[in-house]
Amino acid sequence: MEPILEMRGISKSFHGVNALADVNLTVRPGEIHAVVGENGAGKSTLMKVLSGVYPYPEYSGEIRFMGQERRFKGIAESEAQGIIIIHQELALVPLLSIAENIFLGNEPARYGVIDWALAHRRTRELLEKVGLKESPATLVTDLGIGKQQLVEIAKALSKEVKLLILDEPTASLNESDSDALLQLLRGLKAQGIACILISHKLNEISKVADAITVLRDGSTITTLDCKDGPVSEDLIIKAMVGREMADRYPPRTPKVGDTVFELRDWRVFHPVHTDREVVRGLNLSVKRGEIVGIAGLMGAGRTELAMSVFGRSYGRRIAGTALMNGQPVDVSTVSKAVDHGIAYVTEDRKSLGLVLADTIARNTTLSHLDGVSQHGVIDEGREFAVANDFRGKLATRCAGVHQQVVNLSGGNQQKVVLAKWLFANPTLLILDEPTRGIDVGAKYEIYSLVARLAEEGRSILMISSEMPELLGMCDRIYVMNQGAIVAEFPAAEATQEKIMWAIVKASQ
């Protein structure tokens, strides 16, 4: 069968640096084709070439789509041909309704007057196709991230999509939403829609992909065909990183001491709907040198719990006691929480963790400016030295600590956030989805760092939606559901099935 898309010998450079060198990608009709690679391997650049963000002749090579050579000059042209890309950062307008979003720029209208009845009817049809049970009039801001993802796909379907490109679609989804999305992709495949799936989640890829193309350093390493049976994750990882990855988690021997941090009967109410209890009388404890995980579905209240502890950054009417080394501590503002040795590494590094336009050095010292200043005057030399020190310790890849963080890859940005909090020298480090959207190699580096911190005697509280990560790293795992702890397992006893079972049982 003739391929629907053939990209041959694609090269693209930025200021003399090769981002893509002679990349080939062939997608057959009705195929789910996964593109994997570490951050910076060239996946996004390749998709930008395909969708016309980088128009010809900014790249060299040949793109054939539906049997013809194409040279797209912009997204509008590629969309007209049925190539639609859904970015990781969703492009929906929060305060418009689902129907308005789906038909934005493409409204069914006569003489500029929109036929809302038609728009809503077609929206309902599309929502049915993607399996989303919501009214077309619902505002997008009222939907969870998983449902927003479905709206994006419905929007793509409204445009007669022939090739759907999904960039990290499940990065911020919980397991059940991810499964639903993958199921939907299989459904689209049955309707003959081809799909390019960019993802770091290899277990999902091996579930749905028909073929896998691995990129490394801007070149095609291999294309694996999944027709003759599933491809092992180890094989993919080996191709991605170019080396054997014996262990995905660093080895460590826990040295657990006395209880350092404790929460007693912690209660938090929703900031807007103030009668809704988001965290309901929760107790937990973390010991010295211990890595404690919190598992749970999205919306279980894990981030809300962490942020409420960290200077009441979330919620209203917060009640309960926080204890540090057995003494009740006041954590009512961020600076007080930091003074008591608590640090919180946010799940949303771009909007909550970093000042993107600032340099690595300035971001590193922001939470502990006292450490590089005297009487309120900053010693820039010392700041530079501190930032450089962390850059070395964390192996942050950058041109220099005076580089703006906005230009760093996700993994390196995360390292800057970690450096910021390590400089504050915390006793308890709360990590919220510390490896979200980060490639395999950088993940391992972050795991190693976390293990090293625990070894130094720091206590780690790790929130994650990736269960293998919790099982691989933690000494003890709490399972949280609907604002309460519903189970607790020592690492040795925990399995994915047990955790899911605890969640399901609690939900009933």
Partner 1 sequence: MEQTILTNPAPVSQRMGHFLKQNLREYGMLISLVAIMVFFQIMTDGTLLQPLNLTNLVLQNSYIIIMALGMLLVIVAGYIDLSVGSVCGFIGALAAVLMVTYEWHFIPATLVCLLVGGAIGAAQGWFVAYFKIPSFIVTLAGMLVFKGLALALLHGQSVGPFPDTFQKLSSGFIPDWFDGGELRLTSLLLGVLVALTMVVMAWRTRSNQKLHGMEVEPMALFAARNSVFAVLLVALSWLLASYKGLPNVLIIMFALMVAYDFITSRTTIGRRIYALGGNEKAARLSGVRTERLAFYTFVNMGVLAALAGLVFAARLNTATPKAGLGFELDVIAACFIGGASASGGVGKVMGAVIGAFVMGVMNNGMSILGVGIDYQQVIKGLVLLAAVSVDVYNKNK
**Binding positions for partner 1, 270-329, rule CB under 8 A:** 310-311, 313
Confirm or reject binding of residue 414 to partner 1 (CB under 8 A): no
Beta carbon nearer to partner 1, 397 or 498: 397
Give the CB-side neighbour count of residue 333, counting CA atoms within 13 A: 3
**Least Å from the CB of residue 59 to partner 1:** 19
Confirm or reject binding of residue 139 to partner 1 (CB under 8 A): no
The answer to whether the beta carbons of residues 412 and 397 sit under 8 Å apart is: yes
Options 68, 253, 351, 508; binder of partner 1; rule CB under 8 A? 351
Beta carbon nearer to partner 1, 100 or 383: 383
Confirm or reject binding of residue 390 to partner 1 (CB under 8 A): no
| Helix and strand numbers, DSSP H then E, in the chain | 16, 24
Q: At a CB cut-off of 8 Å and minimum separation 6, what does 14 contact?
A: none
**Least Å from the CB of residue 231 to partner 1:** 38
Q: With CB under 8 A as the contact rule, which of the stretches 225-233, 363-371, 439-447, 489-497 interacts with partner 1?
A: 363-371
Find the largest Cα–Cα distance for the chain: 73
Residue 95 is classified by DSSP as T
**Least Å from the CB of residue 23 to partner 1:** 26
Confirm or reject binding of residue 378 to partner 1 (CB under 8 A): yes
Beta carbon nearer to partner 1, 1 or 377: 377
**Least Å from the CB of residue 207 to partner 1:** 36
Beta carbon nearer to partner 1, 426 or 483: 426
**Least Å from the CB of residue 457 to partner 1:** 23
Options 219, 373, 427, 448; binder of partner 1; rule CB under 8 A? 373
Q: With CB under 8 A as the contact rule, which of the stretches 142-150, 205-213, 378-386, 442-450 interacts with partner 1?
A: 378-386
Confirm or reject binding of residue 425 to partner 1 (CB under 8 A): no
Exposed e or buried b per residue across 149-171, where buried means at least 16 C-beta atoms within 10 angstroms of its C-beta: bbbbbbbbbbbebbbbbbbbbbb
Distance between start and end Cα atoms, the chain: 49
**Binding positions for partner 1, 200-229, rule CB under 8 A:** none
| DSSP reduced 3-state for 245 | coil
Options 67, 105, 229, 381; binder of partner 1; rule CB under 8 A? 381
Q: Which of 58, 102, 59, 50 is nearest to 78 (CA)?
A: 50
- DSSP states along 388-437: HHHHHHTT--SS-TTSBGGGS-HHHHHHHHHHHHHHT--SEEEEESTTTT
Pairing between β-strand 60-65 and β-strand 68-69 as defined by DSSP bridges: antiparallel
**Least Å from the CB of residue 116 to partner 1:** 31
Pairing between β-strand 259-269 and β-strand 277-287 as defined by DSSP bridges: antiparallel
Residue 137: CB atoms within 10 A of its CB come to: 12
Options 369, 407, 490, 507; binder of partner 1; rule CB under 8 A? 369
Rounded to 5 degrees, φ, ψ at 229 are 110, 160
**Using N-to-C axis directions, what is the helix angle for 233-241 and 440-455, rounded to 10°?**
90
Options 9, 242, 400, 490; binder of partner 1; rule CB under 8 A? 400
Residues found near partner 1 in the complex (CB under 8 A): 310-311, 313, 333-335, 337-338, 344, 346, 351-358, 362, 366-367, 369-370, 373, 376-382, 384-385, 388, 391, 400, 402, 420
